[in-house]
Amino acid sequence: MADRNNLLKQITEISFTVNDLTLYLDTHPVDQEALTAFKQAMEQRKQLLKNYAENFEPLTMDCVCPDTNNKNDINTKYPGQKHFTWADGPLPWEGGNV
């Protein structure tokens, strides 16, 4: 099973990279090296978010999928049932996960 804290750390780090590259590309929109780095970082972020949602709960609405989220039934009121997983938690901003 994936480690929640490690995944959150990886998501935070790659999200910082995406945000930093976004700011750079705002002023350098044709920098091919930065565009490539941005594409790679976005792909990595999407995969990490998907992995987190599948093992725990979705961090963004884009990751809500009742068929695949929270396969381990961790922190849910509806173990073994297909349900809207957005409310499964605890969520990172509620503390206790980092």
Close Cβ partners of 14 (under 8 Å, ≥ 6 residues apart)? 41, 44, 45, 48
**DSSP states of 6-26:** HHHHHHHHHHHHHHHHHHHHH
pLDDT of residue 28: 94
Instruction: Please report, in tens digits, the pLDDT of each residue of the chain (98 residues total).
Output: 568 889 999 999 999 999 999 999 999 999 999 999 999 999 999 999 999 988 888 888 887 777 766 666 677 777 777 777 666 766 666 765 44
pLDDT of residue 46: 95
pLDDT of residue 93: 67
Chain centroid, CA 51 distance in Å = 7
94 and 59 Cβ atoms separated by less than 8 Å: no
30 and 45 Cβ atoms separated by less than 8 Å: no
pTM to 2 decimals? 0.75
**Domain map of the chain by residue range?**
4-94
pLDDT of residue 47: 96
pLDDT of residue 98: 43
